[in-house]
Structure 1
Amino acid sequence: MAADGDPTGWRTGLRGLTTRGRSFLAAGITALLCAYLLGQQALLRVGLLLGVLPLVAAFLLLRTRYRVASGRRLSPHRVPAGQEARVHLRVDNISRVPTGLLMLEDKVPYLLGPRPRFVLDRVEPRGFREVSYRVRSDLRGRYPLGPLQLRLTDPFGMCELTRAFNAADTLTVVPQIHPLPAIKLAGEWAGYGDSASRTVALAGDDDAVPREYRHGDDLRRVHWKSTAKYGELMVRREEQPLRSRATVLLDTREVGHRGSGPASSFEWAVTCAASVGGHLLERGYQTRLLTDTGVQVPQDAKSSTGGSVTESIGLLLDSLAVVQHSAGGGLGRAEEVLRLGGEGLLVAVLGALDDEQTASLARLRRRAGAAVAFVLDTASWVGLGQLLPGRVDEAAEHQLRLLREAGWTVLQARAGDSVAELWRRADVRAQADAAASGPIDRGATA
């Protein structure tokens, strides 16, 4: 704070006068004028007392030299939409003198609730105080918390000065994850080693021959026969498990969704993608998220295997927390990405489609081992489905039939449908499709 005699400091102190302080100062000036005009000595003393008291309070606050440190802790840092997170604040008095009355106010976006305010009466030297508050949001996103503002005030409430800390944190509100049942999909296989039962849903490395020694390899793996043959140190390759791969395709086109806010079809699609992606990661799939704009998370296959399942799910949720509508009108960019490396299980969460997009999805199915499509009936998100429960959209039915004929397991989703129940139907429908298609179609699927 500024020292006395500094005009900038005095201006800060005068601006910090509260309503009470300004009222006392105005009353004192008025009393002094009346005492001068009326010649009343008693009124002069009253005016001096009323006018000097707020000025003395401002002077004492400007001379105050508190050394206060603050800290913030979020529990948790990542919270699903609609659930609460707790923010813990800690204020440490690192000076040798006790503090006076402190008022704390943390800066919080309005979507998380009102700004929390706390009053700390006195903090002893080298002491600390801890307070906490709750925040909640129904909307996904990354919300900044802070910086913490500290307000100093005198015991009479005449003056109030505000100081802000620099530290801030970020709370990530992610979409909800619904637990999904374990089902068996057509074209899906999970195993280890270089089995002959490999399908297009799996990818692994051929480890049948030894390789050259690399720094850090275990010497117990040295293959002496190959070392003598090639004249350099060779080691045996350990048989690596075949990794099941999966791609979750999320349709973010603004023209393909209806509704707004948490009850829109787009938010349902994001929740569905989060639930399916988390479920596949927990089952051991090397899973990536792909949008219609061609953006994929993680960006390469190597980064998706470097962390634990919890870290992979966290990366997926962080990406879905900030995903927004795209201005695109087709799935061309996503088709290019899948053409370069689209083997494995493909799960698509789609909005309203047209004939061109349906043809693109039919082409994508040829590269996937198994393909499941959540096709949203977006009209039900704006009330049309309730107004006309018996309606039949012939164009939409034709597109769904084309996807099924191309080998997709199609699940039509309407407003209010459960992701877990739709996922459970994928198993039943896959078996029904396999039984109805005959041996030729089953061979093509395999």
Structure 2
Amino acid sequence: MSRSGGAGILALCVLAAAWLLGSTALVILGFGLGLATLAASFWARLVTNGLTVERRPVEGPPVEGDPLLLEAQLDGRRRLASRVEWRDRLGTLGEADALVGPDGRARIRLESVPRGRHRLGPGRLRVTDPLGLTRVEILVDRESTVTVRPRVPQLDTLFTETGAWGEGGRRALVRRPSGLEPHGVREYQEGEPLRAVHWPTSARRGELMVRELEDAPRDSIAVVLDVEAGAVAGVRGDSSLDDSIRAAAGIVRTHALRSRRALLVIGAPQPGVHSVRSAGRDWDEAVDALAAVEPAAATPLRDLVAARGPLGSVPELVVITARPEVVADALVARTAVGRSSALVAVDAPTYAGRPPAGPSAVMLRLDAAGVALAVLRHGTPLEEALGGLRARAVG
């Protein structure tokens, strides 16, 4: 029973006692309580029809592990209330509440939010009248989604840049981007450096001509992320899949910053393919897709990396998986025909508290074939695992 309902019953009881006892004071008190109850009911209707709340968008893309600040703006007859409380739900993280300030704003701060797409809502406003007799709940039924991105490691070097071992024990470096290449010639403009002058053309035409440069086309690289549920270990936010996602994001972003075309392939039952040509909109779409990745069953990893599969002709291929035995044949075959292959092997048992596994026969075979290798283990910084020498990964 609400407080206003209790006050109404009390008013009736006081009036009944006043009639039995013939007390004028009790009559006045009973009528006063009755008027207060009617005023509270009128106030509730007035406030319910006169208050609106609007969620404010989150400023900037939130990143896992960082605090998440949610804000709402309350408009309407808020000054008629003595206390306004905003309560909202963020997916499986539960509910949180905050008081609405004099400016009509309420802010909810959630600490250390994990990666993912979290559904926001439904929310509620709890409004209390100045007499403390009535509390009204207003439903905020508009739901929205907050995307919390994975934390992306900053990689100065990649394990694939150490190259593969060639014949005679010599290291054959992976070909690096060549930067700017000549596109044509045009007339020299005052102030341009002389080193840009194309002297053969200048001598032939009798005037200074300079080379026009443009970004040279980069060989594409595909980064395949395995999301097989049966190979995931650890708790959400600190699992082998979470580290795999961060590794994929770091590798793709590093290539995007170097103006290399990269394909991010999320190996779900319905694979998601995202082409990243720069660190702009393409990258934002790719990292948002990584934020939403969940474990899945029956993933087509073997078919994705097969020699005649959709990625068979990609010049460079990086596979991130806890199941190296599934892709070993395809990676060895690629290396045999001169296509660059790399494997990020996830040591999933370490995410369940088990000791690191020693070098397996599959890893030794890949190493002998010249496949660039890196190993992700729980507690090892991704920058170290993805930037270290290939020889350390096997040893």
Q: TM-score, normalised by structure 1?
A: 0.68
* C-alpha distance in 1 between matches for 2:299 and 2:57: 43
**Residue type matched to 1:312 in 2?**
D
2:350 to 370, 380, 390: 380
2:334–2:340 Cα contact (<8 Å) kept: no
Partner of 2:109: 134
Over 3 Å counting, the alpha-carbon distance change for 1:255 and 1:283 in structure 2 is: same
Q: How many angstroms does 1:250 deviate by? A: 1.1
Aligned: 1:21 with 2:4: yes
Query: Identity percentage over the alignment?
Result: 20
2:365 to 402, 409, 432: 402
2:316 to 345, 357, 377: 345
Partner of 2:50: 66
Q: How many angstroms does 1:90 deviate by? A: 2.9
* C-alpha distance in 1 between matches for 2:33 and 2:67: 48
Aligned: 1:49 with 2:32: yes
Mapping of 1:70-85 within 5 angstroms?
Answer: 70=54, 72-76=56-60, 78-85=61-68
Partner of 2:190: none
Q: How many angstroms does 1:147 deviate by? A: 5.7
Q: Which has the higher strand share?
A: 2
Q: How many angstroms does 1:351 deviate by? A: 0.6
Q: How many angstroms does 1:176 deviate by? A: 0.9
Over 3 Å counting, the alpha-carbon distance change for 1:148 and 1:328 in structure 2 is: closer
The secondary structure found in structure 1 opposite 2:50 is coil
Partner of 1:252: 227
Mapping of 1:45-444 within 5 angstroms?
Answer: 45-63=28-46, 66=50, 68=52, 70=54, 72-76=56-60, 78-93=61-76, 99-101=79-81, 103-109=84-90, 111-112=92-93, 114-120=95-101, 129-146=104-121, 149-165=124-140, 167-183=142-158, 184-186=161-163, 187-191=174-178, 241-293=216-268, 295=270, 297-299=272-274, 304-305=276-277, 308-328=278-298, 331-335=301-305, 339-341=309-311, 342-354=313-325, 356-365=326-335, 369-385=339-355, 392=358, 397-426=360-389
**Residue type matched to 2:175 in 1?**
E
**Residue type matched to 1:382 in 2?**
A
* C-alpha distance in 1 between matches for 2:374 and 2:55: 49
Q: TM-score, normalised by structure 2?
A: 0.75
* C-alpha distance in 1 between matches for 2:85 and 2:308: 52
**Residue type matched to 1:259 in 2?**
G
**Residue type matched to 2:237 in 1?**
P
Unaligned runs of 5+ in 2: 164-173, 185-211
Over 3 Å counting, the alpha-carbon distance change for 1:37 and 1:338 in structure 2 is: farther
Tell me how large the CA RMSD over aligned residues is.
Answer: 3.6
* C-alpha distance in 2 between matches for 1:63 and 1:272: 55
* C-alpha distance in 1 between matches for 2:375 and 2:131: 67
Unaligned runs of 5+ in 1: 1-16, 122-127, 196-206, 209-236, 433-446
Partner of 1:220: none
Cα deviation code 1:294-341 (max 9, x no counterpart): 655545x5xx44xx4132222221111111112126623312597334
Over 3 Å counting, the alpha-carbon distance change for 1:240 and 1:149 in structure 2 is: same
1:244–1:284 Cα contact (<8 Å) kept: no
Partner of 1:444: none
* C-alpha distance in 1 between matches for 2:216 and 2:180: 5
Over 3 Å counting, the alpha-carbon distance change for 1:23 and 1:338 in structure 2 is: farther
Over 3 Å counting, the alpha-carbon distance change for 1:194 and 1:340 in structure 2 is: farther
Over 3 Å counting, the alpha-carbon distance change for 1:404 and 1:273 in structure 2 is: same
2:84–2:99 Cα contact (<8 Å) kept: yes
* C-alpha distance in 2 between matches for 1:425 and 1:319: 27
* C-alpha distance in 2 between matches for 1:411 and 1:27: 76
2:153–2:382 Cα contact (<8 Å) kept: yes
1:153–1:161 Cα contact (<8 Å) kept: yes
The secondary structure found in structure 1 opposite 2:69 is strand
Q: How many residues are treated as equivalent by the alignment?
A: 353
* C-alpha distance in 1 between matches for 2:149 and 2:116: 7
Q: How many angstroms does 1:71 deviate by? A: 5.1
* C-alpha distance in 1 between matches for 2:314 and 2:259: 16
* C-alpha distance in 2 between matches for 1:374 and 1:335: 14
Q: How many angstroms does 1:238 deviate by? A: 9.3
